[in-house]
Amino acid sequence: MDNMKTNNIKKLIIIGSGPAGYTASIYAARANLKPILITGLQKGGQLTTTNNIENWPGRLQNTKGIELMNDMEKHALKLNTRIIQEEVLKIDFSKKILQIILEKKKYFSYAVIIATGSSPRYLGLKNEKEFLGRGISTCATCDGFFYKNKEVAIVGGGNTAIEEALYLSNIVSVIHLIHRNTSFKAEKILMNRLMQQVKKKKVILYTNYIVNKIIIKNQKIQSIQIISDYLSKKKTICISGLFIAIGSIPNTQIFAKHIKTKSGYITIQKKYNNITTQTNIPGVFAAGDVVDTIYKQAITAAASGCRAALDAEKYLTTLNI
C-alpha cells in the first residue's frame, strides 16, 4: 500500500445496492466522485423480494420491486457509476486510506458509504418465504393496503408489531395479534392505544401463543394454526394475510468490531459542519436501513443515501486530493 500510486485510490466506494446505495451513487457520480458500487449478494436489496410497490412517488402503476431496482441500477450506470457484483468481506479501517476487501481483490478509497441494509427476521416456518408478497409480509406500511377490509394476523410483541397493528387497524377488518409471551415489550403509550382497539374488537389478542403452521389452499394463505404449550391449546385462525413483525437484523456483522453500533444498527456521530451521516470513523458514512431503527422504507433509505453522498463529497473536499 505504501508504494501504491494515488491514482489507484478511489474517492468513494459505496457498499450495497438497495435504494440507499443506488441513490448515493447517483449523487456521487453527479458530483464527479466516480463512485464504485459493490452490490453484495442481494443485488437491488430487499425490494427485489416484493411484487408490488405502491408508495414510491411517481410510480402509479403496479411496480414490481425488481423493476424499480433495475431502473435505479440503469440510472446509476448511465451516470458512470462502476458496479461490481460481489460481496465485501472486510474493511481495513486502520489507515486513513480505507481498504475494502473482496474475495479476490482489494480496493482503496478515501471514503466509504455503508448501505448494507437489513434483513427481516422470519419465523422459520414452511411456506413462509415462498408466500412473501403473496399473503405474507414483513412490512405493514408497505403491504397493508392490499388487505383492505380483510382479516389479518400479526406476530410480535415489540414496538414494531404494535405500531403495525395500529396502522393496520385503519385498513383491515380484524387483526389477530399473536405474541409468544404474556407481557408486551412495546411502549406503554402504544399499548394504551392498542387496548382501545382491543375494546373496539378491532384487535384480538392471543398471548402465550406461537404460529405453528401456515395453511395454504389453492396457492393462497387460508389460515394459520397457533399453539400454546403454556395453555395446552391449539387454534386455527382464518386470515388473508400474515404480518411478521419480530424485528430485523441490520447487516453490520462485518464492520461490528470497528464501527459503533447500537442493537446492531450503525450509530451516527452528532451533527458537525452540517454532516449528518458520518460514523465514528472519519470518511466512513452510513445510510439506509442499516442506520434506521424507525422508518425502514425505500424512500427514507434513498433520502439518507443522498445525504451520505453529499456528506462524503464535503468530507473529500477537506482532504485536498
Sign of CA dihedral 61, 301, 276, 190: positive
Q: Compose the 61-90 pattern: x for residues touching ligand FAD by CB under 6 A, - for all others.
A: --------------------------xx--
Chosen residue from 73, 289, 311, 313 binding ligand FAD by CB under 6 A = 289
Q: Is 321 exposed, middle or buried (0-12, 13-18, 19+ CB in 10 A)?
A: exposed
Hey, which residues does 272 pair with through a beta bridge?
275
Q: Compose the 217-256 pattern: x for residues touching ligand FAD by CB under 6 A, - for all others.
A: ----------------------------------x--x--
Chosen residue from 11, 176, 202, 296 binding ligand FAD by CB under 6 A = 296
Smallest distance from ligand FAD to CB 42, Å: 4
CA distances from 237 to 94, 161, 198, 293 (A): 54, 18, 17, 31
CA distances from 218 to 50, 211, 238 (A): 20, 21, 14
Collapse the DSSP code of 42 into the 3-class scheme (helix H, G, I; strand E, B; otherwise coil) and give the result: coil
Smallest distance from ligand FAD to CB 65, Å: 7
Smallest distance from ligand FAD to CB 4, Å: 23
Q: Is 21 in the site for ligand FAD (CB under 6 A)?
A: yes
Q: Is 306 in the site for ligand FAD (CB under 6 A)?
A: no
Closest to ligand FAD by CB, 18 or 283: 18
CA distances from 94 to 2, 43, 183, 246 (A): 14, 28, 45, 36
Distance, CA of 156 to CA of 132 (rounded, Å)? 17
Chosen residue from 28, 31, 37, 47 binding ligand FAD by CB under 6 A = 47
Closest to ligand FAD by CB, 132 or 154: 132
Residues 269-288 that bind ligand FAD (CB under 6 A): 288
Collapse the DSSP code of 222 into the 3-class scheme (helix H, G, I; strand E, B; otherwise coil) and give the result: strand
Angle at the Cα of 165 from the Cα atoms of 56 and 289, rounded to 5 degrees: 45
Smallest distance from ligand FAD to CB 63, Å: 9
Chosen residue from 91, 132, 140, 239 binding ligand FAD by CB under 6 A = 132
Distance, CA of 211 to CA of 155 (rounded, Å)? 8
**Cell numbers given for 57:** 412517488
Q: Where along the sequence are the contacts to ligand FAD (CB under 6 A)?
A: 15-21, 38-43, 45-47, 49-50, 53, 55, 87-88, 115-118, 120, 132-133, 138-139, 142, 251, 254, 288-290, 296-299, 301
